[in-house]
Amino acid sequence: LTVAHDTLAGARAAGVLRASRAEIRIGLLGVGHVGSAVARLVFARPHALGRRVRIASALVRDPLEPSRTRALPGVSLTSDPRALFAAAPTVVVEVLGGLEPARTLVLEALARGLPVVTANKALLAYHGEELLEAAASAGVPLRYEASVIAGVPFLGTFARRPLAADVTCLTGIVNGTTNYILTEIGESHPDYASALAQAQHHGFAEPDSSKDVDGLDAVEKLVVLIRQFARLRAAPDAIETTGIRQITAADLVHAGELGGSIKPVVYADWSGAALAAFAGPAFVPRPHPLAALRGVSNGICLRDGAGSVLSLAGPGAGPDITAVTVLDDVLEAVVAKPVRFSAACIASVRPPSSRWLVRITSSGALPFGADVADLLASHGIWIERTSTRDTRHGGDAQWLLTYPSVRDRIGAATAALSAATGCSAFCVRALEEQP
Amino acid sequence: LTVAHDTLAGARAAGVLRASRAEIRIGLLGVGHVGSAVARLVFARPHALGRRVRIASALVRDPLEPSRTRALPGVSLTSDPRALFAAAPTVVVEVLGGLEPARTLVLEALARGLPVVTANKALLAYHGEELLEAAASAGVPLRYEASVIAGVPFLGTFARRPLAADVTCLTGIVNGTTNYILTEIGESHPDYASALAQAQHHGFAEPDSSKDVDGLDAVEKLVVLIRQFARLRAAPDAIETTGIRQITAADLVHAGELGGSIKPVVYADWSGAALAAFAGPAFVPRPHPLAALRGVSNGICLRDGAGSVLSLAGPGAGPDITAVTVLDDVLEAVVAKPVRFSAACIASVRPPSSRWLVRITSSGALPFGADVADLLASHGIWIERTSTRDTRHGGDAQWLLTYPSVRDRIGAATAALSAATGCSAFCVRALEEQP
């Protein structure tokens, strides 16, 4: 563990996953946007899971369709499920979407003792109990982390942790398309139609966007969340579901005036005598953790009986992030325990370059701002913004926000400022607006 | 799965964890704040993990000390590690804190083939490689979810998911005491000393608070995070570490003026040729996800090479939340696969009562606000806030935020308003400020 490495990359590579020799063979059901992204990731990084991964076979409607054969070079394509199972997959990935034939094929895979990974929220919403029972009977894993907030792994986590999962209320934004549309309406697009067109242009919304904008996608995900966290079964059509078609730009302007914004929300609370739930656009006050989620971001807040809140946020969908989550699920479905890694030794840590918040104080009057700026600039420090001056505490004080610099340079510049003017300077780092 | 239940609680109980018969026997190292909370939780909910859990034996400095015997009625207390191991624990929980004897005892437990759960960030920061190697050699789990952001399970999750864990930068708030102190200084306490006293009064800060306020606690946690996410080894004293003692109320006022606040941050970026890292107070701009974390809340943002950000937030510490996380870790350490649950059937879902954002529009002029308020009030709807009126779009429009009501009541009230005045009304739900 103390071997020296020339580069950071070399040091990290030495600490990377310890590979097992057993190959993971995926039977891929469906080669649409997500299926193609799964294949791309497998081809690009066949050892990323610490084992060799390959696509053993892929089920498609038309095995001779050129876009499919191009997406899966060297992979046997078939329209016959028997041929897919005959290719001896060790795990089945279902990314067909929709209810049938997805349901039948997943049941068949489970009956054959094959672990299944799916990203299909509709399948889970309508047939989740049947599929989970089938998986339990067969004693094989059924994983569906990508079905809700695809970029944030949490369903598997809480399935393993019954005390953390013992919450009584959840609030989330689980549809990126509608969050994007409402964010756009609020900021740059005059109305729903043009924001939707923009979302479709960027590929965030399907040409048929009705499942998103009418709230059906969101309520299906809510049913999955209610099953897992409330351990209750709810039919999607039993839950109040509204879409975003009627939300106007003026609604968003005045929601802002009232201290919040309008977001596409799912909500469930089972702390009382009944399950209270809805899916639809809602006014979200600015202090609420979901209020900060803009564009295609998704997130969820879980509240326990004592009022403690845990919140998670990240990318909600998209083929590439879904493929990442599906393949991590593949690993979790195939190996029961966490992957092992060890940390390589590194030679050095350096403090980063960052913006700085600088407090300049004087027992008398501060020097002219232009003089301070000139002196700092002569030491390579440039000022981005300055506060008003504060003389309420007996002296004279001002705060500056600088452009990025290393600590040594800001230290030398403020020391020079102190020496030249008699002022004191105190610095703390400043983060960028986005992490 | 279709059995009818009289109550929600009955329905949920039927869907609860399927209990296994094997008992989990904890060897508890240490009965301080956290150890006592673990014992309380085990006594209160011995079947919460789906298996019977008991404390087989507990190691304390003085087995006759009354507060210890009171905390662990019926449990054999000992100051001799041999007696603890002789009680045949199936898992060891280390909550002694500090480096020794914690290190020696954890190594001994691992050498005996016992899974270990610890909440000890100092132990992991200084001896993590040795302990992880020992666990790997023995082939038993070593779990430490509670060591960083105790209330948010994420370390185990990302250890299982190498693709999701493939990030290049992390930014976090991992010390609740200092976040509480800086929040208080910014809001209600004039200075550091009185905010610290307040934190100590509430039990958020230890009587000796120097590990918190000088940043040592935070940098130890940062070392654990760097090992897991960067797969790099860093010594705590190689990382720039600053404390919060010098932050003043005026600093926080003017940070606000400059568009942010000052927060106790840990940061690491390994996207470049070296590991860049620091632990200390930093200016956090308002749009940053960490800016919203107030009081004792902790959180972390993980950014991948493509710029995608995942953020997690929740309670950072405290004996009770730590005990929850430790016991979930116990279950994960003992059973390799996720616990199984099935969802019970429920009779009904109800839409919740909530505040409402109401848009009232008229092609002519809106009625007087007082008339609208009276009419709504006569249907049981009370107005919390109203927007300015908006006549820019050809008609007359106003937005109201109401006090909580069920959908039927707001629907009836707005229908009556429309009938009486000819206005149109459109309603969306409004969330509370906190989830």
Among partner residues A8, A160, A430, which is closest to B339 by beta-carbon distance? A160
Q: What is the pLDDT of residue A288?
A: 86
Of the pLDDT bands very low, low, confident and very high (cuts 50, 70, 90), residue B349 is: low
- Known catalytic residue at B221: yes
Chain A residues within an 8 Å CB radius of B232: 8, 11-12, 15, 343-344, 346
- Other beta carbons within 10 Å of B138: 18
Q: Identify the helix (H) or strand (E) that includes residue A252.
A: helix A249-257
How many beta-carbon pairs under 8 angstroms link A with B?
A: 414
| Residues of chain A with confidence (pLDDT) below 70 | 1-21, 189, 206-207, 336-349, 393, 433-435
Q: What is the pLDDT of residue A3?
A: 34
Interchain contact, A12 vs B231, CB within 8 Å: yes
Beta bridge partners of B55: B26
Backbone phi, psi, residue A122, to 5°? -65, -45
Q: Give the residue from A170, A231, A355 with the most B CB atoms within 10 Å of its CB, the best one to mutate.
A: A231
CA distance A198 to chain B (A): 21
pLDDT digits (tens, 9 = 90+) for B297-333: 999 999 999 889 999 999 987 899 999 999 999 999 9
pLDDT digits (tens, 9 = 90+) for B49-66: 888 999 999 999 888 888
Q: What is the pLDDT of residue A141?
A: 92
Q: What is the pLDDT of residue B203?
A: 73
B328, two tokens: 């979930």
Interchain contact, A289 vs B292, CB within 8 Å: yes
A155 within 8 A of A227, measured Cβ to Cβ: no
For the beta sheet containing B24-29, the strands, ordered from the edge strand earlier in sequence to the opposite edge, are B77-78, B53-59, B24-29, B91-94, B116-118, B142-143
C-alpha–C-alpha distance, residues B201 and A202, integer Å = 53
C-alpha–C-alpha distance, residues B159 and A235, integer Å = 34
Interchain contact, B352 vs A269, CB within 8 Å: yes
Among partner residues B233, B308, B314, which is closest to A151 by beta-carbon distance? B308
C-alpha–C-alpha distance, residues B105 and B92, integer Å = 9
Q: What is the pLDDT of residue B143?
A: 95
Beta bridge partners of B313: A311, B299
Chain A residues within an 8 Å CB radius of B265: 429, 431
C-alpha–C-alpha distance, residues A384 and B346, integer Å = 58
C-alpha–C-alpha distance, residues B223 and B235, integer Å = 7
Of the pLDDT bands very low, low, confident and very high (cuts 50, 70, 90), residue B350 is: confident
> Which amino acid appears at position B359 of this protein?
R
A192 within 8 A of A239, measured Cβ to Cβ: no
Q: Say what percent of chain B tops pLDDT 70.
A: 90
Among partner residues A342, A349, A434, which is closest to B288 by beta-carbon distance? A434
Average model confidence (pLDDT) for chain B? 86
Q: Which is higher by pLDDT, B388 or B262? A: B262
B32, two tokens: 């301080």
pLDDT digits (tens, 9 = 90+) for B3-24: 334 455 554 544 444 444 579 9
Closest CA to B402 of B435, B353, B345, B366: B353
Decide: helix, strand or coil at residue A304: strand
Q: Are strands A77-78 and A53-59 parallel, antiparallel or unpaired?
A: parallel
Interchain contact, A233 vs B1, CB within 8 Å: yes
Q: Identify the helix (H) or strand (E) that includes residue A68.
A: helix A66-71
Q: State the residue for tokens 């449990």.
A: B75
C-alpha–C-alpha distance, residues B124 and B360, integer Å = 59
Chain A residues within an 8 Å CB radius of B136: 340, 342
Q: Are strands A275-285 and B424-430 parallel, antiparallel or unpaired?
A: parallel
Interchain contact, B324 vs A158, CB within 8 Å: no
Give residue B174's Cα distance to chain centre.
10
In this prediction the ipTM stands at 0.86
CA distance A86 to chain B (A): 28
Backbone phi, psi, residue A228, to 5°? -75, -45
Statement: residue B122 has pLDDT above 90:
yes
Q: Say what percent of chain B tops pLDDT 90.
A: 50
Chain B residues within an 8 Å CB radius of A289: 292, 313, 435
Burial class (CB in 10 A: 0-12, 13-18, 19+), B306: exposed
Q: What is the pLDDT of residue A343?
A: 54
Task: Report the chain B residue with the minimal C-alpha distance to residue A143.
Answer: B338
Among partner residues A141, A397, A431, which is closest to B283 by beta-carbon distance? A431
C-alpha–C-alpha distance, residues B161 and B154, integer Å = 11
C-alpha–C-alpha distance, residues A261 and A277, integer Å = 20
C-alpha–C-alpha distance, residues A291 and A296, integer Å = 13
Chain A residues within an 8 Å CB radius of B233: 1, 343-346
C-alpha–C-alpha distance, residues B320 and B39, integer Å = 10
Of the pLDDT bands very low, low, confident and very high (cuts 50, 70, 90), residue B186 is: confident
Interchain contact, A260 vs B234, CB within 8 Å: no
Whole-Å CA distances, B238 to A347, B158, B216: 10, 25, 12
Q: What is the pLDDT of residue B19?
A: 40
Interchain contact, A432 vs B285, CB within 8 Å: yes
CA distance B80 to chain A (A): 31
Annotated catalytic residues of A are: 221
Average pLDDT, integer, range B79-95: 96
Backbone phi, psi, residue A342, to 5°? -125, 155
Closest CA to B421 of B377, B358, B381, B364: B364
